Amino acid sequence: MIFNVIKDIQLDHVATAVENWEDAWPTVVGVLGGKWKSGGFNLGFAPAQLSFANDMRIEVLMPSDVEHNDFLRRFLDHSGPGPHHLTFKVHDIEAALDEVRSAGFEPTGVSIGNPWWKEAFIHPKQALGVVVQIAQSAGSWFVPPPKGVPMPKEGVNSELLWVGHAVSDINRGLELFRDLLGGTELASGSCDDGSSNWIELSWKGPGRIRLIAKNPDSEVKSPVEDWLKGRSGRICHLAFGVQDLQSSEGLHESGLPGMPDGAQVLGVSEALNLPVIIVRAKGN
């Protein structure tokens, strides 16, 4: 396999599937201050992108017009609500796909006929448990929010710091996200008991991925093993930085690998189906 870094690439957003947008609003808007960026209704799915203070985004996907395209309906029926894909934006998708194939991956869903939006995917069986979307866009656009989409309360805001991605083999994770998809190693460390290691990768925008894996030299059982349950990889949390958390009710120390001192668990979001959303109080 030849791993050549895809040029001019950045992590654009993380997407999660829900039954209804409204299921995500209490956490994503009410607690974390996500603001509507764009979205609408397409064949099979309705995306709602919300941005945070550092301009990193979550895309909340719900089924729409499933009789014409049922891919998201099938995903929800099989896996339930939860993380669906990571989107990387490139300037030249055809050159990017050449590098993907050279690295031994076979792109699926290749659609490059629309000059405004071109896309392709790496299947989760090859991409360590998550769909990787590679896209080329002719520009950005704003779509006014549909009726009923809330705005965050004044003073409620946060930064989406990183996407936590548990992997069974951190070297395979680095091959995909660093050597091919262009992430730069920003930081690394181990959890207190030495059972897990983590490496944080960054892109030129605000996007960050923190790869977390069992420490192969440790005999201590890693929580990563329980989360993966034999999978090659799985998104395990979203980490947010908060200047002034409005309420600390229900928070407790994270106890998770790859977390900074003082990180706290906001709780399990049933809508996002992530076991935790991590909150870090910046400067406190």
Name the residue ranges covered by the structural domains of the chain.
9-137, 159-281
Helix (H, G, I), strand (E, B) or coil at 261: coil
Specify the pLDDT at position 119.
97
In angstroms, rounded to a whole number, what is the distance separating the alpha carbons of residues 72 and 161?
27
Distances (CA, A) of 206 to 12, 37, 162, 201, 264: 8, 16, 9, 11, 22
User: How does the average pLDDT of the chain come out, rounded?
Assistant: 88
Q: CA 185 to CA 174: how far, in whole Å?
A: 9
Digit-coded pLDDT (tens) for 126-180: 999 999 999 999 977 778 888 889 999 888 888 999 999 999 999 999 999 999 9
d(CA 136, CA 31): 32
User: Is there a common fold for 9-137 and 159-281?
Assistant: yes
Least trusted range by pLDDT, from 58-67, 179-188, 259-268: 259-268
Contact (CB, 8 A) for 143 and 164: no
DSSP reduced 3-state for 178: helix
SS3 of 180, please? Answer: helix
Task: Say which CATH architecture domain 159-281 belongs to.
Answer: Roll (3.10)
d(CA 94, CA 110): 10
In the DSSP assignment, the letter for residue 220 is: S
Instruction: For residues 132 and 122, give the distance between their C-alpha atoms in angstroms, rounded to a whole number.
Output: 5
Question: CB–CB of 133/121 below 8 Å?
Answer: yes
pLDDT on residue 278: 56
Confidence bin at 265 (pLDDT 50/70/90):
low
Q: What is the pLDDT of residues 78-94, one digit of tens each?
A: 999 999 999 999 999 99
Q: How far is CA 51 from the centre of its chain?
A: 13
Which is higher by pLDDT, 229 or 281? 229
Q: Report the CATH number of the 9-137 domain.
A: 3.10.180.10
Predicted confidence at residue 240, as pLDDT, reads 85
| 28 has pLDDT over 60 | yes
